[in-house]
Every structure is written in C-alpha cells, then in structure tokens.
C-alpha cells in the first residue's frame, strides 16, 4: 500500500505542533527550504474531529496547510506524516514508548494509519525505558533517513520539537497540559481552560469609597500619624487642667500669659485690618514700634485671626499652649528618629525635651515653651540632606523638598521670638559653616567631590535667604526700639542677676510634682529661682550617662554630644562660669542681638535636647538587645514581658515631668472698657495690672496708654507718676497733651492707693465729666 492512498477512514485534524515540524523536516529533506513553525499556525490549523483535513485525499508532492511544494516523495512513514492532516506527531511531543514505536513501525510497513494515534492518554515518556531510537519504519525507507537532519533545523529548535529521534526537547515535558490528548481516535483539547472551573472567583474592583477608606486607614495607622496623635494626647494630659476651663483660666499666672494672649490677638487682628500698622500697636500710646517691646509670637498670627474679645484671646492662648507642648514632643521625636533612634528611644527624647522639670517654671512664658520648631526643622533638614547620626551621609536619600520645608519651619520658629530663636539662628549658621568646611576638606583630602547636587544647593541657598530675610525683617523693629530707647538694651550687670549657679542644674522648680517639695530649701538659696531652677530630670541624667557607654551611636558621636551638653551648660550659667569671660561675655559683646537676651538659663533648652539624644541612643540599644533576646528564646513567652520592660524609661521620664502648675482665673473685663473711647488710660497702672488692660483691649483694640513688657518706656513712667494725683488740673492737662480722651479708674484696685480718697471727688471745675459704669469710674477729658 502506498502512502499516497487515503487514510483508513478516520478523519484527523490538520497537523500542528511537532507534526508540522516533521512535515517541514520532510520538505527540507526533499530539497525545499524549511520555514520555521509559527505559533499562530497551530491555532489556525486545528479542525473539528471527524472532518477531513485538507490534502488528505491522496495528493502527493504537496505539503498540507499550504506548505511549500516538495519534490517527488517516496512511500514510507515520513511521506505519510507529511500528507496526513492529523495530530499523530503529538506522540513525538509527549514521548513515544517502546511499544508505541513498534506499533508505529508496523503501521508504516503496511502503509496504513499510524498506531501512535492510539497512545494512552497521559502517558509520560519519562516513565518508560526511553523512546525508540528509530521511531517509525525508517529502517526500510531511505526517505526516513533523509529526514533525519530535520532534528537540527531551526524550526525544530524554535517550536520545541524533539532534538533527537523520538526524544523530547530539553525543558519540555511529556504529556504537557498545553498539548492535546487523544483517546479512541478522538481529539480532546487539553489546556488551561480545564482548570478554570477550580479557580477562585476574581476579586471585584473596589469602589471609590472602599479605596478612600483604605487610604484613610493606612494614614491613621502610619507611624507619624500615631506619633502626632500620641503627642497631642500626652500634651492634653500633662497640661491638665488647661483645657478644663479654657475661656477663664490661664496656666501659671495671669500676667505674662495675658500679655501673650494680647500679642496673638493683635497680630491676627491688624494683619487683617491694616498690616502696615503691625508694629505700631494699640498699647503704650503714643509710643512707636510698641509691638517690638517684647517677643511677639508673630508666628501665631493665623490663630489670632479667629475670634475676638478677651475670652476668645484666653481660649486661643490655652489651645496654643497645649499645641506647643505637642509640637515640641513631636519635633524631638522626629529628630531622634531621623538621627537613627528607635521608636521608644525617640519617644524618650521627645518627652524629656518637652516635660523636663525646669520647663515647668516657664509655664507662663509661651514664647519659651514654643520651641518645637527647633528639633522639627533640624529633622527636616537632616532628612533632606540624607544625613543621620547612626548611618552617616547617604546621598541616595537626598530630597530638596524636605530642605525647603526645614527652612520654612526654621523661619516660622524665628518669627515666634528672638529669646529662643536667636540662639537657634546662630546654631544654624554655625552648622552650615562647619558642614561647608568639612565638605571641602574631604574633597581636598580624597580628591573626590561628595555627591550633593545643584537642586539641594539651590534649596539651601533659597531656604537660607528666606530664613535670613525673616530674621532681618523681625530685627528691624527691635533695632528701632533700641535707637528710641537706649536704656532698653541689657547690660552685663542685668545678665548677672539672672545667671544661675551650678546648683541650679540639680534643683527643680516648685511646680514639679515629684521634686518640688523636696527642693524647697535649695530654691530658697537661689537669688531668682524661676530662672535658676534648671533640673532637666534625674532620670534623663541617668539615661544620658548610660548612653555614654551603651548606645547605638558611635563613640565619637557620643563624645560630641557630651561636649555639647557641657558647653551649653557653661553658656547657660551666664557670668557664673568664670565670670563668663570665655563663654557668655564674648557672645554678649560681639554677636548682634545677643545683648537683648537677659536670661542665660533658657539656653538649658539645648542641653536638654542633647541629653535626650544621648538617652535615645541608650534606650534604642536596649530595645534592640531585648528584641534579639526574645527572638532567640524557646519558648518565647517571656518575650512580651521583656518588650514591655523597655517602656520603663519612657514611663519614668513622663512621671518626672508631672506638674502642679496653678491655673488662676483671669480678671473679668470691666464693663467700662467695652464702651470707652480711646485713647484711654486705665488706673491704677503698673507692670502687672497693665498686662490685664492689654488683654481687655482685645475688644475693639482701642488705643491705650497702658502696657507691660520687658522694659518700661520713660514716658509711661511719667504718666504713672503724674497720674498719682488724678483727677487734678496738672494731671488732666498732661493727659490732654498726650491725646488721652478717657480715663477709667477701677474701684476694685484703688485700695491702698491715692485714688482711694479722690475717686469720689467732684470734677466740674476741671472741665471734665465723670460717670460710674459698673465697678469703674469713667472720666471723659
């Protein structure tokens, strides 16, 4: 029987895969150029089982599927494989067993159909002894020998055809699921769709609300969100009862807080009404540049734009008082984390920086407590420059956006006042200078430039210019005040009055709940204990000392931090450290603006921050060691208890910051102040009572002669002296000369003063009017 006869009656699909490659090999053997098989040909060549394949009717010399026409073909299995349009070559893909090879050889001898179509489904050639070496009746047919070189053809390599006779190609597996299984002469597609019924249902696309909810959830559990919320919650608890009656009480006392409440209210009001009058406030009338008589808290002006009147001013102050504590904790935490401390260590640094016992004596000075911008700006600048204390300089972490943010925060901190901002400005200037020197020194030593980048350089230049510009704009009014009032400038004698001795570093203020009562005798020995009790905390001292020997910081960094602690302590002592000859006095004499700082002890802020960083290094090393121990223990049940023990330093630092700060009720605004027309004078007038008058003036901001600040203008001194005899002709004429139109005399404050007798005296002969309004007497000049 010749191979050109029709098949045995079983119609087969068009040859694909390895069969098509066999046909190409046969064609190549016949002298026709071989074409590589294409993947798309496989899909196009498949036909329905039982339908005759094209070219399956005895046509010789032509390949099926429109393949290139071959030369005269001899009979034999190779010719049959080239003519038949079925998938008998699948046996070559899946591996032909020895028995199947023998059957194929017998079919080739008879010239009938290939017995390999009846190969058992799922047979794996790898389980047999191996494929037959000469698959098919190639022994008796020379064309089969001629087709042997097809194993080296490119088409066979590309399509994964057998590399040898009957052997599967490398990397191919017999019975592959991507092939086709046949049983009883019927083709059955085998592919991924067989397993689709067992696949899980596709996850539905989340809605916009779901995506927003997930984003909000991720934000709420982020470390920085939790740190901010934790700092805020701790601030509310540690400053309690500040927010218990926020409209009626003030922390510590109602003198300086009243002044600062007025400052925030004035800046917010005037920036909305008439920004050009910012520095010409409504107090100290008719003085010029009166808003610069003390630190201004100008950075809180946006808060001052909300609300009006004394009650809103008190509420605003209390809210900012709590937020200042929260920002300080968050800022110090961020700085410690950026430098390389762990979460618990950074929390210790944040809490110790904010709630150090010595700061309890400053509870009435919001401009001192508003120091959170210092560590936060340093953290942002370090983050933008890719630098940390633990890991050094990492250029790949540079980001100019953080640099801009750091300079903006630094400028905002400076706008709150020079009492804290001026040392910060000099620290930044010194840091920039040292960094530039180290940068060029390393370049000269190694001959290689340290990666920095133009964008980072531009950010530093622009940010530094912004910071310097804010500083100059803030400084101009203060220089004007110094020109108009030369006596307002401090002297070395003034500095000596507020310079604390060395014993102040271990003495706590009376507001400390833990140490206040125990240190009462030590405080009595200090000339001015509110500015001389500088204890940062005994727990902090102990943790910082431990950080010198056991820490995640390198030894040189620990020594640098220790040097910073000692230097800042020496500066905080003012003239008490060798008369300040080598420390404070040179700064006082040569650095612009330094002479305006009258309290050296507030430099303890930097000492506390450096001690906190030393403590953070020790606590981080402790937590890392505990984590290693708990990971090695079997069983691990002591692990949670060991990890909880690492919270003990944080707990102790927090407990040591507990306070007994009083919250007195603010004096109520007199009814006469609500209707009085300015310019006006409120009597009695002194430094303490005038701060209440400033707060009361937030209701409409009339011009008032009264005012309280770090110094007293001579004109105000003259007003207070002349007004002792009011109402009389001399005082009335003098006040008229100043432009005063109204005088308000408070009955509740005249006990023990000259006005106790003259408050009810007739005034008709003086050409002025008198009217009782509530608890006050109003005189209209």
List pLDDT tens digits, range 383-433: 999 999 999 999 999 999 999 999 999 999 999 999 999 999 999 999 999
Number of helices (H) and strands (E), helices first, in the chain? 31, 8
User: Taking a C-beta distance cutoff of 8 angstroms, is the pair 657, 677 a contact?
Assistant: no
Residues facing 659 on adjacent strands: 512
The CA angle 704-705-709, to the nearest 5 degrees, is 100
User: What is the DSSP track for 458-488?
Assistant: HHHHHHHHHHHHHHHHHHHHHHHHHHH-GGG
Regions in the chain scoring below 50 on pLDDT: 1-186
User: Taking a C-beta distance cutoff of 8 angstroms, is the pair 687, 748 a contact?
Assistant: no
What tokens appear for 470 in the block? 């804010």
Peptide bond connecting 150 to the previous residue in cis, omega within 30 degrees of 0: no
What pLDDT is stored for residue 193 in this prediction?
A: 66
The span from the CA of 506 to the CA of 762, in Å, is 59
What pLDDT is stored for residue 630 in this prediction?
A: 77
SS3 track for 609-678: HHHHHHHHHHHHHHHHHHHHHHHHCCCCCCHHHHHHHCCHHHHHHHHHCCECCCCCECCCCCHHHHHCCC
Over residues 502-535, the pLDDT tens digits come to 999 999 999 999 999 999 999 999 999 989 999 9
């Amino acid at each position: 029987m010749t191979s050109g006869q029709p098949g045995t009656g079983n119609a087969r699909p068009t040859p694909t895969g390895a069969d098509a490659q066999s046909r190409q090999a046969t064609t190549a053997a016949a002298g026709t150029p071989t074409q590589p098989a294409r993947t798309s040909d496989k899909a196009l060549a498949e036909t329905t089982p039982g339908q005759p394949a094209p070219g399956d009717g005895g046509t010789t010399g032509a390949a099926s599927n429109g393949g290139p026409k071959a030369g005269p073909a001899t009979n034999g299995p190779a010719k049959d494989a080239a003519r038949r349009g079925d998938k008998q070559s699948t046996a070559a893909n899946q591996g032909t067993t020895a028995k199947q090879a023998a059957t194929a050889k017998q079919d080739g001898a008879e010239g009938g159909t290939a017995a390999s179509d009846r190969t058992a489904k799922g047979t794996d050639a790898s389980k047999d002894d191996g494929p037959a070496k000469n698959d098919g009746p190639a022994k008796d047919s020379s064309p089969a020998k001629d087709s042997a070189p097809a194993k080296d053809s490119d088409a066979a390599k590309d399509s994964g055809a057998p590399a040898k006779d009957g052997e599967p190609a490398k990397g191919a597996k017999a019975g592959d699921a991507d092939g086709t299984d046949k049983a009883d002469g019927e083709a059955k597609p085998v592919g991924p769709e067989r397993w689709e019924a067992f696949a899980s249902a596709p996850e539905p696309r989340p809605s916009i609300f779901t995506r927003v909810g997930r984003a909000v959830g991720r934000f709420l559990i982020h470390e920085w969100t939790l740190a901010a919320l934790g700092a805020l919650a701790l601030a509310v608890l540690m400053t309690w009862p500040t927010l218990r009656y926020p409209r009626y009480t003030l922390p510590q006392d109602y003198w300086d807080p009243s002044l600062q409440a007025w400052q925030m209210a004035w800046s917010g009001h005037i920036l909305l009404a008439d920004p050009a009058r910012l520095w010409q406030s409504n107090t100290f009338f008719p003085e010029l540049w009166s808003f610069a008589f003390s630190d201004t808290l100008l950075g809180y002006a946006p808060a001052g734009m909300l609300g009006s009147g004394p009650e809103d001013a008190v509420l605003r102050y209390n809210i900012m008082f709590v937020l200042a504590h929260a920002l300080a904790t968050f800022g110090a935490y961020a700085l410690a984390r950026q430098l390389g401390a762990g979460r618990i260590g950074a929390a210790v640094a944040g809490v110790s920086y904010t709630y150090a016992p010595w700061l309890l004596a400053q509870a009435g000075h919001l401009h001192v407590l508003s120091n959170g911008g210092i560590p936060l700006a340093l953290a942002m600048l370090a983050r933008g420059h890719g630098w940390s204390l633990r890991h050094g300089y990492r250029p790949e972490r540079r980001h100019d956006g953080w640099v801009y943010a750091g300079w903006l925060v630094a400028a905002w901190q400076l706008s709150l006042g020079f009492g804290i901002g001026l040392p910060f400005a000099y620290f930044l200037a010194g840091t920039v200078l040292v960094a530039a020197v180290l940068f060029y020194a390393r370049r000269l030593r190694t001959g290689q430039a340290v990666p920095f980048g133009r964008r980072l350089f531009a950010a530093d230049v622009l940010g530094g210019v912004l910071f310097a510009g804010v500083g100059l704009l803030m400084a101009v009014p203060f220089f004007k005040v110094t020109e108009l009032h030369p006596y307002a400038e401090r002297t070395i004698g003034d500095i000596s009055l507020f310079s604390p001795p060395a014993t102040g570093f271990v003495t706590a203020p009376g507001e400390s709940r833990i140490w206040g009562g125990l240190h009462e005798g030590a405080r009595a020995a200090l000339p001015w204990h509110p500015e001389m009790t500088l204890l940062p905390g005994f727990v902090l001292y102990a943790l910082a000392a431990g950080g010198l020997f056991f820490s995640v910081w390198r030894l040189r960094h620990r020594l640098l931090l220790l040097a910073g602690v000692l230097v800042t302590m020496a500066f905080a002592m003012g003239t008490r450290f060798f008369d300040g000859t080598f420390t404070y006095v040179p700064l006082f004499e040569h650095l612009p603006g330094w002479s305006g700082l009258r309290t050296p002890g507030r430099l303890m802020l930097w000492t506390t921050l450096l001690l906190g960083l030393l403590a953070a290094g020790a606590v981080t090393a402790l937590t890392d060691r505990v984590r290693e121990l708990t990971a090695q223990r079997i069983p691990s049940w002591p692990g949670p208890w060991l990890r909880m023990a690492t919270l003990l330093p944080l707990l102790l630092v927090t407990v040591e910051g507990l306070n007994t700060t009083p919250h007195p009720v603010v004096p109520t605004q007199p009814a006469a102040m609500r209707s009085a027309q300015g310019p006006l004078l409120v009597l009695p007038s002194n430094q303490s009572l005038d701060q209440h008058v400033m707060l009361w003036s937030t209701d409409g901001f009339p011009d008032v002669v009264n005012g309280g600040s770090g110094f007293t203008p001579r004109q105000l001194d003259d007003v207070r002296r002349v007004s002792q005899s009011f109402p009389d002709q001399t005082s009335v004429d003098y006040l008229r000369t100043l432009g005063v139109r109204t005088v308000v005399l408070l009955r509740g404050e005249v006990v023990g003063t000259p006005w106790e007798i003259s408050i009810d005296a007739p005034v008709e002969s003086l050409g002025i009017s008198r009217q009782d309004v509530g608890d006050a007497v109003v005189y209209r000049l």
